[in-house]
Homo-oligomer: A and B are copies of this chain.
Amino acid sequence: MEPNVSDALTVLGRTPAVLRALLHGLPAEWSDRQEGEGTFGPPDVLGHLIHGERTDWVPRIRLILESGDRRPFVPFDRRGFGPVDRTPVETLLDEFERLRSANLAFVRGLSLSPSQLALEGRHPELGRVTLGQLLATWVVHDLNHVAQVLRVMSARYGAAVGPWRRFLGILNR
Q: Give chain B residues whose Cβ lies under 8 Å from the Cβ of A123.
A: 163
Q: Give chain B residues whose Cβ lies under 8 Å from the Cβ of A130.
A: 162
Q: How many copies does the complex hold?
A: 2
Bound CA span A161–B169, Å: 25
Q: Is the interface of A mostly helix, strand, loop or mixed?
A: helix
**A170 and B143 contact, CB distance less than 8 A:** yes
A residues apposed to B, CB below 8 Å? 1-3, 7, 10-11, 14, 17-18, 20-22, 26-27, 29-30, 123, 126-127, 129-130, 132-133, 136-137, 139-141, 143-144, 146-147, 150-151, 153-154, 157-164, 168-171, 173
Bound CA span A161–B171, Å: 27
**A140 and B163 contact, CB distance less than 8 A:** no
Closest to A20 in B: B21
